[in-house]
Structure 1
Amino acid sequence: MSALDALPHGPEFRFVDEITELEGGKRALGRYTVRGDEAFLAGHFPGNPLMPGVILLEAIAQLGGVAAQSDPEIPAVEGLLLTGIRGAKILGAAVPGEVLEISATVEGRLGPMIQIGGEVKVGERVLATAKVQLAGASSAE
């Protein structure tokens, strides 16, 4: 099973196609290709499809969850969900055919709460940055 298989999302709502680097419990790099057939692009915007900024933030959260849940020394958090976003900046948009480069770093943990710092880029162009909070219930040891 790959680390991506641990995400609770179905394939229709997964915004990481590939993990290119993974340092368990610390950081991850990943990619997502904007295919153009995603359902949300039909209405955002007709004739000029742009990946919504909130989905860029979701990609950071998903990759951050993979990084956090891959810690070899800390048990996985059950029911891990995105619970907060701070300092989000949406600086650009991606269009079909572009490959998003996503980075996520585990910046802090307090029991079942995890803070992730992340960024989404296309090449050198930064599209979004944010601090996201993930939380769930402590897993049984």
Structure 2
Amino acid sequence: MKLTTKEIMEIIPHRQPFLLIDTVEELEPGVRAVAKKCVSYNEPFFAGHFPQEPVMPGVLIIEALAQAGCVAMLCKPENKGKIGYFGGINSAKFKNKVVPGDVLTLEVEIIKQKGPIGIGKAKAVKQDGKVAAMAELTFAIG
């Protein structure tokens, strides 16, 4: 199942400038999601991070991964209208810079869930196949 930006906004509450995924390329509700983020020079964070050498902040890469995971969880009928909150970020590693022109593939697999709490294994990969970031994300559906 593929989703457009408009369809993503029907599932998660994030909006510009904080909606950090453009499309969802693969989706298995409650199991996994693969989203895309086309990183443009016009992103508001590049004005200050850094003006001479624009680099996407690592925390925003993690946030984009979390938004992809939110789509996977919130597209389940029983979670419709709810919000996914961060519960934790474990084992985050940043391997390669993300710069204007990069296209990130954001892969999140839900590896554990008990009630409203779950854990997702997340990885952001650049268009050249290099891993930009990876982490284990804990979330709460509320």
Contact 2:12/2:74 (<8 A) preserved: no
Matched, 1:100 2:107: no
User: Paired residue for 1:115?
Assistant: 119
Structure 1: how far apart are the matches of 2:98 and 2:130?
Answer: 10
Tell me the equivalent position of 2:42.
37
Q: Which runs of structure 2 are paired with 1:125-140 in the superposition (5 Å)?
A: 125-137=130-142
Alpha carbons 1:36, 1:97 under 8 Å: kept: yes
- Identify the match of residue 27 of structure 1 among 24, 32, 53: 32
- Residues 65-104 of structure 1: pairs in structure 2 closer than 5 A: 65-71=70-76, 75-76=78-79, 78-104=82-108
Name the % identity. Answer: 34
> In the TM superposition, what whole-angstrom CA distance separates every residue of 1:23-65 from its partner, at most 9, and x where no partner exists?
1110111100111111111111111100011111001100001
Q: Structure 2: any 5+ residue segments left out of the alignment?
A: 1-5
Using the alignment, how far apart are the partners of 1:127 and 1:133 within structure 2?
20
Which of 7, 15, 35 does residue 10 from structure 1 map onto?
15
TM normalised by structure 2 equals: 0.88
Whole-angstrom distance in 1 between the partners of 2:90 and 2:83: 21
Q: Is the 8 A contact 2:110 2:119 kept in 1?
A: yes
Aligned residues: CA RMSD: 1.5
Q: Which amino acid aligns with 1:107?
A: I
Pairwise CA distance, 1:4: 4.3
Partners of 2:84 and 2:130 in 1: CA distance: 30
Q: Distance in 1 between matches of 2:75 and 2:111?
A: 14
1-structure distance, mates of 2:50, 2:113: 38
Q: Is the 8 A contact 1:106 1:116 kept in 2?
A: yes
The count of residues paired between Structure 1 and Structure 2 equals: 135
CA separation in 1, counterparts of 2:97 and 2:9?
24
**2: distance between equivalents of 1:31 and 1:37?**
17
1:29 partner amino acid: V
Kept in 2, the 8 Å contact 1:34–1:97? The answer is yes
The Cα offsets for residues 72-121 of structure 1, whole Å up to 9 and x where unpaired, read as 5xx11733211210010011111111111110111111111121111001
